[in-house]
């Protein structure tokens, strides 16, 4: 009889290595490992041999960078999705894609179960499990870290030793790190004290602003329908463009984020992020929207951005809400085409120029010179009608006060006006 198959989301780290063996024993199962390349700089070579040596019967390593950029990163960028206004969500965006990979492999292998190495107190378990449930409701998701017997890293290492599981001989990082093309997430260790400044060794892809070059660097980014397509006048495909901006931004100390954030499971956690390209692209994209989006669309879009960020963070990528919001966002992006020029300097970014064929900036209306085309007289009537409700309110309030009655709601304000 064929053994049960389990597809394991595998990174080659201690947890997922131990998982391969532990699951094969517990379920008497055949283990298939699946690793997605999301542009993490961590070496993927040698991973196949390692997975095999750990007991995997089959090993998948898939390059998902293109899909990650086209189907996850760019939609989030167009939506201006920053969780709690700051976090560009490299980790949160990667999970639904990895879940998709697991489901596809489970389907082609005829596996009824998939497994991930997330803990029971984070957001990632939710993202994996909700995504798998959405894409393949009949596939069972296992989360060994929630229910296995190991209480510490040392116990896992001991288990690995007993079972001849190869684990890296290098000293373990004092942090928990998750990295991909869109950014690095760093937590644990001394970072758990929110008053503790991150030590220099917490950072991997950005220099400290004070160590950045003394010369500023201008970058010009061209967007088409809200998607970045060129850098400094040269067309570059998405993955490359992000790679290049990570390099340039990292060199200038751009994209360090220190955030105490609200997890879905109710915990406040302190996380350090390094996301040079994401920080630069979000900034540039919003600056272009300021130029080309009609006022009320721009304002509405900032509300949509918050909803969109929440749904990504909270594991609802494969939800009808996302598809519905995408329809709105794509409609708004039809005019987000043009060029933004930024200056990067010692951890800071400033906009120094923007242009678009859809620019709604009208020099005739904006100018204070004799070329002014704005109808100043029209403002008089506009203001008297625009201010009418407030004026009426205060007339009534003042009448009541002068006749000795108690001032209504904003009476204090009215009193001050009367004095
Ligand atoms: N807090 C981030 C999120 O929920 C990152 C989680 C993973 N972080 C890590 N250092 N392993 O998206």
**CATH number 3.40.50.620 given to 4-173:** yes
pLDDT of residue 408: 61
CA 165/CA 172 separation, integer angstroms: 16
pLDDT of residue 301: 98
**What would the mean pLDDT of 74-99 be, rounded to a whole number?**
98
Measured in degrees and rounded to the nearest 5, phi and psi for residue 280 equal: -65, -45
Query: Is the pLDDT at 322 greater than 90, yes or no?
Result: yes
Assess whether 176 carries a catalytic annotation.
yes
Active-site pick, 124, 131, 205, 354: 124
pLDDT of residue 354: 98
**What would the mean pLDDT of 329-338 be, rounded to a whole number?**
98
**What would the mean pLDDT of 301-317 be, rounded to a whole number?**
98
Q: What is the 3-state secondary structure (H, E, C) of 7-59?
A: EEECCCCHHHHHHHHHHHHHCCCEEEEEEEECCCCCCCCCHHHHHHHHCCCEE
Residues with CB under 6 A from ligand 1: 89, 91-92, 123, 176-178, 185-187, 271
Domain positions in the chain are: 4-173, 378-418
**For the chain, percent of residues with pLDDT exceeding 90:** 89
pLDDT digits 0-9 by tens, 213-253: 999 999 999 999 999 999 999 999 999 999 999 999 999 99
CA 362/CA 144 separation, integer angstroms: 60
Confidence grade of residue 357 (pLDDT, cut at 50, 70, 90): very high
Burial readout 361-391 (b: 16 or more C-beta within 10 A, e: otherwise): eeeeeeeeeeeeeeeeeeeeeeeeeeeeeee
Assess whether 201 carries a catalytic annotation.
no
pLDDT digits 0-9 by tens, 374-401: 999 999 999 999 999 999 999 998 898 8
Query: Is the pLDDT at 325 greater than 70, yes or no?
Result: yes
Assess whether 178 carries a catalytic annotation.
no
Residue to mutate (ligand 1; options 185, 203, 272; most atoms within 8 A of CB): 185
pLDDT of residue 407: 62
**What would the mean pLDDT of 314-327 be, rounded to a whole number?**
98
Query: Is the pLDDT at 409 greater than 90, yes or no?
Result: no
pLDDT of residue 272: 98
Query: What is the whole-number distance in angstroms between the Cα of residue 184 and the centre of ligand 1?
Result: 9
**For the chain, percent of residues with pLDDT exceeding 70:** 96
Sheet of strand 5-9: strand arrangement: 58-63, 30-37, 5-9, 113-115, 140-142
CA 17/CA 157 separation, integer angstroms: 10
Active-site pick, 11, 24, 95, 185: 95
pLDDT of residue 415: 55
Residue to mutate (ligand 1; options 9, 82, 266, 271; most atoms within 8 A of CB): 271
Query: Is the pLDDT at 169 greater than 70, yes or no?
Result: no
pLDDT of residue 139: 98
Assess whether 95 carries a catalytic annotation.
yes
Query: Is the pLDDT at 101 greater than 60, yes or no?
Result: yes
CA-269 nearest atom, ligand 1? 1
Confidence grade of residue 413 (pLDDT, cut at 50, 70, 90): low
């Amino acid at each position: 009889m064929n053994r049960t198959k389990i597809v394991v989301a595998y990174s080659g780290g201690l947890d997922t290595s131990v998982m391969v063996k532990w699951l094969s024993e517990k379920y008497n199962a055949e283990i298939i490992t699946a690793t997605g390349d999301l542009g993490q700089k961590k070496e993927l070579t040698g991973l196949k041999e390692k997975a095999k040596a750990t007991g995997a019967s089959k090993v998948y390593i898939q390059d998902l960078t293109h899909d990650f950029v086209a189907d996850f990163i760019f939609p989030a960028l167009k939506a201006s999705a920053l969780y709690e206004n700051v976090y560009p969500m490299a980790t949160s965006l990667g999970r639904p894609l990895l879940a998709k990979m697991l489901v596809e492999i489970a389907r082609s292998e005829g596996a009824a179960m998939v497994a991930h190495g997330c803990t029971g107190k984070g957001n990632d378990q939710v993202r994996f499990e909700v995504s798998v449930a959405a894409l393949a409701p009949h596939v069972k998701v296992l989360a060994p870290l929630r229910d296995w017997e190991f209480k510490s890293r040392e116990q896992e290492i001991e288990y690995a030793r007993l079972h001849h599981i190869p684990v890296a001989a290098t000293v373990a990082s004092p942090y928990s790190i998750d990295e991909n093309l869109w950014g690095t997430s760093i937590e644990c260790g001394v970072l758990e004290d929110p008053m503790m400044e991150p030590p220099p060794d917490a950072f991997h892809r950005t220099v400290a602003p004070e160590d950045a070059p003394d010369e500023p660097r201008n970058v010009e980014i061209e967007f088409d329908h809200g998607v970045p397509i060129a850098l400094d006048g040269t067309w570059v495909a998405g993955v490359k463009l992000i790679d290049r901006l990570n390099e340039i931004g990292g060199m200038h100390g751009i994209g360090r984020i220190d955030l105490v954030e609200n997890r879905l499971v109710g915990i406040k956690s302190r996380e350090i992020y390094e996301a040079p390209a994401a920080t630069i692209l979000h900034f540039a994209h919003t600056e272009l929207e300021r130029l080309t989006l009609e006022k009320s669309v721009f304002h509405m879009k900032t509300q949509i951005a918050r909803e969109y960020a929440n749904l990504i963070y909270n594991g609802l990528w494969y939800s009808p809400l996302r598809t519905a919001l995408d329809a709105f966002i794509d409609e708004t992006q039809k005019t987000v085409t043009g060029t933004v020029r930024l200056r990067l300097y010692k951890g800071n970014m400033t906009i120094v120029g923007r242009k678009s064929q859809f620019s709604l900036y009208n020099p005739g209306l904006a100018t204070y010179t004799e070329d002014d085309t704005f109808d100043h007289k029209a403002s008089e009537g506009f203001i008297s009608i625009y201010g009418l409700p407030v004026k009426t309110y205060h007339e009534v309030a003042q009448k009541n006060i002068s006749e000795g009655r108690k001032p209504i709601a904003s009476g204090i304000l009215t009193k001050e006006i009367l004095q």
